[in-house]
A = this chain, B = another copy of it.
């Protein structure tokens, strides 16, 4: 049976690429209110694909952007149900001048598909949709029940996904959640990501004089919001690159000796990593390797800075305000609410009397760790090996999938992270890409996964 499915999809690879390009052309940027209509269009595009292969689907409105739900229906035999999760929203474009081709005009160069969302997550979610289409068109009934939950708010913190899960808890009931929104270990080695970081995303705004004032007339007599912001941010780390927020590390679960040993065994080249990023040297928390810092240690990063005069040349003002977007990646068992409160307290304590502090919060999400001894993990592992021709490695990720803890809480299901973009895919940056070969292997993998899940115990 699986041979018929694979053979069917081999014959349709060109059409799959065309359809991915269609989806990538829709600028579904969830953070920007101006793109609300594009969000709607992307959801409808997905619903039409399900309709065309006879899979029941619906667009579920939320207080934000809608979700697309689909369901292949009950199977004749007693087999597991899997819920495939993906997100059709994408990050903003950022500095357009840094893109070699327009972000929403997908372009193939040397076997790579360049477009915002190619890797994160349109190409990856579409692989699962197309695999189900192939099963439906080649065989008819699927050996397991496959449900889909495709949301439009992943890049802005999945604020309304919890509402949908709670309202549709029976409809979405499943044994496993399957998600392709992570990276392979390297371009040839597939991976199952068993842990992700959580996040707390803040914006610190410091208000000084009621408007920009002359830096000669007033300099040295009032707190400068720009200097003060720098001072606050600087004090959030110590000389060992540890975060200084009181209590920040209290709940951090230490890496086990086994985990540290497994990480050391992975073929990770620090010099190659450094060169690929174009930085003069690697830097991070003392006492940990780069992989440990990336996968298992909490971090605090400035994501953006603004304030005062930023045009050509010089303007001699003290800015009325200065601000920083600052996000923390947290790890098991740090609690986002506790970290959020500790951050606010620390920043308040660091703020001198000469400025007024405002703190905004943009996102908060839990970290996640998946148990490795399950039929789902075994099926995912087998499918990855069949799709990519190599046994997967088990890794963790510094990225955040805010919904993993939510699935566990609301549906009681663990998430199988079987992503297949490459680690250098430029997600969130300019020139995001997905390899065409990776996309096609991902579709095969997703088709095998359905087959294996029916057989693996």
CB of A197 closer than 8 Å to a CB of B: yes
Shortest beta-carbon distance from A417 to chain B in Å: 13
Whether A218 pairs with B277 at a CB distance below 8 angstroms is yes
Known A234-B230, A310-B304; contact A220-B318, beta-carbon cutoff 8 A: no
Which of A95, A236, A325, A430 has the most chain B CB atoms closer than 10 A to its own CB?
A: A325
- Whether A31 and B312, one on each chain, are in contact in the complex, defined by CB atoms closer than 8 angstroms, is yes
Residues A227 and B302 in contact in the complex (CB < 8 Å), given A217-B398, A423-B217? yes
A100 to chain B, nearest CB (A): 11
- Using known A-B contacts A221-B282, A428-B315, determine if residue A322 contacts B297 with beta carbons closer than 8 Å: no
Residue interface bits A273-295, CB-to-B below 8 A is 1, else 0: 11001111111110000100110
Question: How many A residues are at the interface, by size bracket?
Answer: 35 or more
A317 proximity list for chain B (CB < 8 A): 94, 303-304, 428-429
The answer, yes or no, to whether A180 is at the interface (CB within 8 Å) is: no
One digit per residue, 1 when the CB lies within 8 angstroms of any chain B CB and 0 when it does not, for chain A 336-364 equals 00000000000000001111100000110
Which residue of chain B has its CB nearest to the CB of A270? B221
Q: Does A427 contact B (CB under 8 A)?
A: yes
Asked if A156 lies at the interface with its beta carbon under 8 angstroms from chain B, I say: yes
CB contacts (< 8 Å) of A91 on chain B: these are: 315
Contact with B along A211-226 (1 / 0, CB 8 A): 1111111111111101
The minimal Cβ–Cβ distance linking A172 to chain B, given in whole angstroms, is: 26
Point out the residues of chain B lying under 8 angstroms from A82, CB to CB. Answer: none
Q: Mark A227-248, 1 if CB is under 8 A from B, else 0.
A: 1011111111100000000000
Whether B327 contacts A303 by the Cβ 8 Å rule is: no
Of the candidates B211, B237, B277, B353, the one whose C-beta lies within 8 Å of that of A222 is B277
Please determine whether A221 and B284 come into contact, CB atoms closer than 8 angstroms.
Answer: yes
A102 is an interface residue with CB less than 8 A from chain B: no
Q: Does A371 contact B (CB under 8 A)?
A: no
Chain A 83-130 interface residues, beta-carbon cutoff 8 Å to B: 91-92, 94-95, 98
- Check A183 for interface membership: any CB of B closer than 8 A: yes
Q: Say yes or no: is A319 at the interface (Cβ < 8 Å to chain B).
A: yes
Question: Scoring A residues 295 to 316 as 1 if CB is less than 8 Å from chain B, else 0, what string do you get?
Answer: 0011111111111111111111
> Which of B212, B312, B426 meets A211, CB within 8 Å?
B426
Q: Would you call A399 and B214 a contact (CB within 8 A)?
A: yes
A433 contacts B by Cβ under 8 Å? no
Q: Does A68 contact B (CB under 8 A)?
A: no
- With a CB–CB cut-off of 8 A, which chain B residues contact A382? none
Q: Which residue of B lies closest to A212 (CB)?
A: B429
User: Across the interface, which residues of B come within 8 angstroms of A294, CB to CB?
Assistant: 217-221
A-B complex: 3 closest residue pairs judged by Cβ atoms: A226-B302, A210-B278, A216-B399
Interface residues of A (CB under 8 A from B): 31-33, 91-92, 94-95, 98, 156-157, 183, 197, 199, 201, 203, 208-224, 226-227, 229-237, 273-274, 277-285, 290, 293-294, 297-320, 322, 324-325, 327, 329, 352-356, 362-363, 397-400, 423, 426-431
New A-B pairs, 19, CB < 8 Å, besides A305-B310, A305-B319: A91-B315, A94-B315, A156-B314, A210-B278, A211-B431, A214-B428, A215-B329, A218-B277, A219-B329, A220-B285, A220-B294, A221-B273, A222-B283, A226-B303, A226-B304, A230-B302, A281-B353, A301-B318, A317-B429
Complex A-B: 6 CB contacts under 8 Å:
A31-B314, A213-B277, A219-B398, A222-B274, A223-B283, A302-B322
